[in-house]
């Protein structure tokens, strides 16, 4: 894999259900649990929402290239979204208006109290797609990709949110994989130990008790998908790339299939040679913790 491929900037009750081809609405509320137990539908469109409203997901890094796709896919799959952004006015200009989309200021460097306020008491899950923006601050990867993510997990615990999906990266544990000389591993760690910072955040999530899915993509591309998703257990892949559209899809599918995706670390790339498999099948193929 070339270095450029991996440039990191780096709940039960009765409910009547009505759904269209791409969204869902639950009309009766008799349970306030926040579990994402899925009601399976044809394209896995709905997750169980017993609150009479769309289930709300807080997305950190919603203005990012992957984050934006996650927001759009969540909306198209019938979720409500609280987009956590650093600049609300600016963020509003880059999304189509949608009554199910709301923006809230959320800088992950400002600590867990503020993040808990941003997440609020109405979010059922958090997806983190943040990544430091390159600049002169050598500690930025550590501040964003480690402490920022740790603060988000703490904020989830404060608010009782028990579902966390993190967009991380392959090779975060490159040293243990014998990939210490992998050019991508070297390059990304030279710039502020980015992969080490991400690995430490992953370890914190695993210890937190929060129900997690850690998605580790290969090099990210803005092109539409050009192959099928390959999903492997942690510390398996050392190269390859994937469309951000597919990364967003995996993150959203993780919420839709809690049964198969909980407490798992999955590594993903895309391959034209790989067979097309359902997400259920892909998640089921990876052992949980
Ligand atoms: N690039 C790759 O090839 C590659 C490969 C594997 C994994 N990854 C990882 O995948 C994730 C997504 O990557 P991407 O390229 O799609 O991301 P991106 O476009 O660089 O977006 C980064 C997002 O993080 C936000 N952010 C930065 N600092 C923040 C802070 N202090 N508080 C809150 N939000 C903050 C940015 O907000 P603003 O818009 O306000 O700046 C932006 O929304 C990252 O973690 C990245 O490291 C990347």
* pLDDT tens by residue, 24-65: 232 223 333 344 444 333 344 444 444 468 999 999 999 999
- In the chain the domains, ranked by start, together with CATH numbers, are 52-284 (3.40.50.720)
Look at the block and give the residue holding tokens 């780096």.
10
State whether residue 75 is helix, strand or coil.
helix
Beta strands of 237-283 (E only): which ranges?
Answer: 241-243, 264-271
Mean pLDDT of the region 207-229: 97
Contact criterion met (CB below 8 Å) for 137 and 143: yes
* DSSP symbol at 3: G
What are the CA-CA distances from residue 111 to residues 57, 114, 153, 225 (Å)? 20, 6, 11, 36
- The burial of 263, by beta-carbon neighbours within 10 Å (0-12 exposed, 13-18 middle, 19 or more buried), is given as middle
Look at the block and give the residue holding tokens 């040679």.
273
| CA distance linking residue 130 with residue 255, whole number of Å | 18
Mean pLDDT of the chain: 86
Write down the number of H helices and E strands in the chain.
10, 12
Beta strands of the chain (E only): which ranges?
Answer: 17-19, 24-26, 56-60, 80-85, 101-105, 125-128, 164-167, 212-217, 219-221, 228-233, 241-243, 264-271
Ligand 1 pocket test: which of 61, 84, 196 has the largest number of ligand atoms within 8 Å of its C-beta?
61
| CA distance linking residue 15 with residue 261, whole number of Å | 24
In 3D space, the residue among 157, 155, 161, 93 whose CA is nearest the CA of residue 123 turns out to be 161
Ligand 1: which residues within 6 Å by Cβ? 6-10, 61, 63-67, 86-87, 106-109, 129-133, 144, 148, 167, 169, 217, 219-220, 244
Diameter over CA atoms, the chain: 56
pLDDT at position 68 over 60: yes
Residue 206 Cα to ligand 1 middle (Å): 21
Q: Phi, psi at residue 173, to the nearest 5°? A: -105, 35
Ligand 1 pocket test: which of 10, 84, 152 has the largest number of ligand atoms within 8 Å of its C-beta?
10
Residue 208 Cα to ligand 1 middle (Å): 23
Residue 91 Cα to ligand 1 middle (Å): 14
Nearest CA to ligand 1 atom 27: 132
* DSSP symbol at 47: B
pLDDT at position 17 over 90: no
User: Between 51 and 261, where is the model more confident?
Assistant: 261
At residue 190, the pLDDT reads 86
Nearest CA to ligand 1 atom 42: 64
* DSSP symbol at 34: -
Contacts of 101 (CB under 8 A, 6+ apart): 71, 75, 80, 81, 83, 95
Report the Cα 66 to chain-centroid distance in Å.
Answer: 9
pLDDT at position 224 over 60: yes
Contact criterion met (CB below 8 Å) for 130 and 145: yes
Residue 27 Cα to ligand 1 middle (Å): 36
How do residues 175-211 score in pLDDT, each as one tens digit?
999 999 999 999 888 878 999 999 999 999 999 999 9
Q: What is the pTM of this model?
A: 0.87
CA angle 158-164-166, nearest 5°?
A: 125
């Amino acid at each position: 894999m070339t270095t450029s491929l991996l440039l990191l900037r780096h709940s039960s009750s009765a409910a009547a259900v009505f759904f269209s081809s791409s969204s869902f609405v639950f009309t009766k509320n008799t349970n306030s649990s926040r579990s994402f137990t899925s009601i399976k539908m044809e394209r896995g469109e709905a997750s169980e929402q017993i609150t009479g409203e769309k289930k709300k997901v807080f997305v950190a890094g919603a203005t990012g290239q992957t984050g934006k796709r996650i927001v759009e896919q969540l909306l198209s799959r019938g979720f409500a979204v609280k987009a956590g952004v650093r600049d609300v006015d600016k963020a509003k200009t880059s999304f189509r208006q949608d009554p199910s989309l709301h923006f809230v200021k959320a800088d992950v460097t400002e600590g867990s109290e503020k993040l808990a306020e941003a997440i609020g008491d109405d979010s059922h899950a958090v997806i983190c797609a943040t990544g430091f923006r390159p600049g002169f601050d050598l500690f930025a990867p550590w501040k964003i990709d480690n402490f920022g993510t740790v603060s988000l997990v703490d904020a989830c615990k404060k608010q009782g949110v028990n579902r966390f999906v993190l967009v991380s990266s392959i090779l975060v544990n490159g040293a243990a994989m014998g990939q210490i000389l992998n050019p991508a591993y070297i390059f990304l760690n030279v710039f502020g130990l980015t992969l080490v910072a991400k690995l430490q955040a992953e370890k914190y999530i695993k210890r937190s008790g929060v129900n997690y899915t850690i998605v580790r993509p290969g090099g990210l591309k803005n092109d539409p998908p050009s192959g099928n998703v390959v999903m492997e257990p942690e510390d398996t892949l050392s190269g390859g790339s994937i469309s951000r559209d597919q990364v967003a899809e995996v993150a959203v599918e993780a919420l839709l299939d809690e049964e198969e995706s909980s407490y798992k670390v999955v590594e993903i790339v895309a391959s034209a040679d790989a067979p097309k498999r359902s997400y259920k099948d892909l998640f089921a193929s990876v052992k949980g913790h």
